[in-house]
Amino acid sequence: MKRTISMRAKKKIWKKAAIQLSVNFMVMAILSIAMLSVGVFFARDIFNYTTETGQKLDEQTKEQLEIKLRDPSALVTIGLNRKNIKRGEHEVFGVGVANRDKIEGEFKIVTGCSKGVVVNEEGDKVEEPPGCTEGTCCSKWIMGTTTEVGELGPNEFELATLFFSIDKKAKPGVYIYNIQAFKDEEKYDSVKKVYIEVK
């Protein structure tokens, strides 16, 4: 004997299946959103940790800068002023500023690319302008051209970091950066130089 299912029973089964399917879909959607949120959270934490670690000065550099700043004639000092950096990598330079005036003031450091000396196709060394050219934009390699040092009282000093991230398309050569300290918007000490050799 053949069993037949009435149209009413079929609709009831379809309705039940549709409800189960929509509940399953909602559960999957909620789980997917939760997993995506957890992934974004971990990725952000890893990125922040890497960035913070990469922008910190090592203890040896801090000690060298502090020793230089204890000299009463030192106004602005740089740890190492020359570093080799591979394309696509980053490096940190340490800068120290000491207030030798009798009044407190607000200090900042302004960094800019002066020029680059690169080797052209013929093997000659040529000067590369500080602006952006094909494959080179040394003015964009410094993360933040102005570094706020903060307020310093008489004979107080502070350390700051200059973070450089070299473009993967950068031309090999030596790039020169000018570092100028300012106190209350007026130049403080002479221009210092940092040399980055891109390999």
- The yes-or-no verdict on residue 67 having pLDDT over 80 is yes
Neighbours of 158 (CB within 10 A): 16
Q: How far apart are CA 191 and CA 177, in angstroms?
A: 10
Give the bridge partners for 158, in sequence order.
97
Same domain, 46 and 98: no
Q: How far apart are CA 140 and CA 116, in angstroms?
A: 13
Same domain, 98 and 143: yes
- The yes-or-no verdict on residue 53 having pLDDT over 50 is no
Helices (H) and strands (E) in the chain, counts: 2, 9
Q: Which domain covers residue 38, as residue numbers? A: 1-54
Q: How far apart are CA 116 and CA 168, in angstroms?
A: 16
Same domain, 4 and 71: no
Q: Model pTM? A: 0.68
The mean per-residue pLDDT over the stretch 32-53 comes to 70
Same domain, 33 and 76: no
Q: How confident is the model at residue 144 (pLDDT cuts 50, 70, 90)?
A: confident
The mean per-residue pLDDT over the stretch 41-61 comes to 64
Return all residues near 142 (Cβ < 8 A) that are at least 6 apart. 111, 112, 113, 162, 163, 164, 177
The mean per-residue pLDDT over the stretch 81-89 comes to 91
